[in-house]
Amino acid sequence: MYGTSPASLEITAWPLDPIPANGTLECQFAGRVSEAVSDVLVRNLEDRVVAARLDSLTAKRVVRIAIEMLQNLHHHAPGQGICGFRVVSTATGWWLASRNEVEEPVKTELVQRFAELKGMDLEELRSHQREVLNAPERSAHGGGGVGLIEIMRRTERNLALSTVPSGDNHWIVELTAHIAVSS
């Protein structure tokens, strides 16, 4: 069960769908995200995709999505910085998930933005990403949502967003991406 603060995130259970529990746990982290932590996680993941003998394109996608998710955690970690990150491989592909706590207004905006992006086809996503990159304005936290668009594109829209209440006006947000592998 989730508590009322980010420090109480139950990272080992990962009860939210759709990340599978029956794959190989390639990487998992819970705690304060920093550049050093992200560097270790990305290097570990690079080693894991090489060991798994993924084709070059799939390996690049897995690593790039991990980087985008970790950057998201850097930008949107709660005050205490407690977040979670997990990578699981299965026979059908690689699943990457990140989670952090946000306040109600951020959750509402993220759910709305996610729905808008999920409704776009891949060409619309590409065009929208260019528009966002060229726009002079950014959101209050400095970003324009390019990371979410990038993840959506690289997974070919195979992305899920789950939210769970974690206290007074706070939510745990979990983003789960699936990168299919050819057999």
CATH classification of the domain holding 85: 3.30.565.10
Q: Do 155 and 178 touch, CB atoms closer than 8 A?
A: yes
Residue 64's domain comprises: 6-180
Identify whether 100 is part of a domain. yes
> How do the pLDDT tens digits run along the chain, 183 residues long?
222 333 333 443 444 445 666 788 898 888 888 888 899 999 999 999 999 999 999 999 999 999 999 988 887 776 665 688 889 998 889 999 998 888 888 889 889 989 988 888 878 878 877 787 776 665 554 444 788 888 888 888 888 998 888 878 888 888 999 998 875
Structural domain includes residue 57: yes
Give SS3 for 11.
Answer: coil
- In this structure, the strands spanning 170-180 and 82-89 are unpaired
In a domain, 58, yes or no: yes
Q: How many domains does the chain have?
A: 1
In this prediction the pTM is 0.81
Q: CA 156, CA 152: separation in Å to the nearest integer?
A: 6
The answer to whether position 1 is within a domain reads: no
Exposure string over 35-45, b if 16+ CB within 10 A, otherwise e: eebbeebbeeb
